[in-house]
Amino acid sequence: MRVLLLVFTVLLYIGKASELFNPHFKPHCNCIDKVSLGRSTWKLLHDIVNSVEREKTPYFVSMMDNLGKIYPCEECRLHISEYIQEHPTEMTHEWLCTFHNAVNQRLNKKKFKC
Ligand SMILES: Cc1cc2nc3c(=O)[nH]c(=O)nc-3n(C[C@H](O)[C@H](O)[C@H](O)COP(=O)(O)OP(=O)(O)OC[C@H]3O[C@@H](n4cnc5c(N)ncnc54)[C@H](O)[C@@H]3O)c2cc1C
């Protein structure tokens, strides 16, 4: 039994180790749930804009720039960076609401009254 366990562990280790040397190995699965990720990100963004003092605007601007680079959904990332290039980030309810509406529109969702 112990020998079997040892063989199994060694095989498992070899399998994992060989993955690391495979140039095509992607350590992350492609399993992002765009809907729940989107909802929680919008919640975070709206909460920041509604409750953080305006002096922190530069951090919000950087955050949006960085979201356009690392948001874990390629299609969304592309749209974020396109949008902020055309509509420079403002840490205001109007800016964020309008941005959220632009995404709503693209996804055929209802527009929100800003
Ligand atoms: C920056 C960003 C870019 C995204 N880009 C894409 C994309 O390219 N493709 C894709 O498939 N998904 C994208 N998403 C996800 C998408 O926007 C939704 O979050 C997801 O589809 C879930 O939608 P939902 O109907 O639950 O409501 P959500 O759009 O997630 O909104 C959550 C809640 O916010 C409220 N709300 C809606 N509109 C507004 C508004 N304008 N102002 C204030 N509050 C509002 C409503 O109460 C709503 O229930 C993106 C998300 C983010 C944060």
Atom index in ligand 1 nearest the CA of residue 42 equals 53
| pTM (2 d.p.) | 0.83
Q: What rounded mean pLDDT belongs to the chain?
A: 87
Q: Any long-range contacts for 34-38 (C-beta under 8 Å, 24+ apart)?
A: 34/73, 34/76, 37/72, 37/73, 38/73, 38/76
Q: Residue 95 maps to which CATH number?
A: 1.20.120.310
Domain membership flag for residue 55: yes
Q: Say how many Å lie between the first and final Cα of the chain, rounded.
A: 67
Percentages helix, strand, coil for the chain (3-state, rounded to 5) are 70, 0, 30
User: What is the residue-wise DSSP string for 17-67?
Assistant: HHHHH-TT--SS-S---HHHHHHHHHHHHHHHHHHS-GGGHHHHHHHHHHH
Domain membership flag for residue 72: yes
Residue with CA closest to ligand 1 atom 16: 38
List, for residues 64-82, the tens digit of each pLDDT value.
999 999 999 999 999 999 9
Residue with CA closest to ligand 1 atom 45: 112
Q: Which two tokens stand for residue 26?
A: 């992607």
Domain count, the chain: 1
List, for residues 77-106, the tens digit of each pLDDT value.
999 999 999 999 999 999 999 999 999 999
Q: What is the mean pLDDT of residues 51-61?
A: 98
Atom index in ligand 1 nearest the CA of residue 96 equals 42
Q: Residue 71: which domain range? A: 32-106
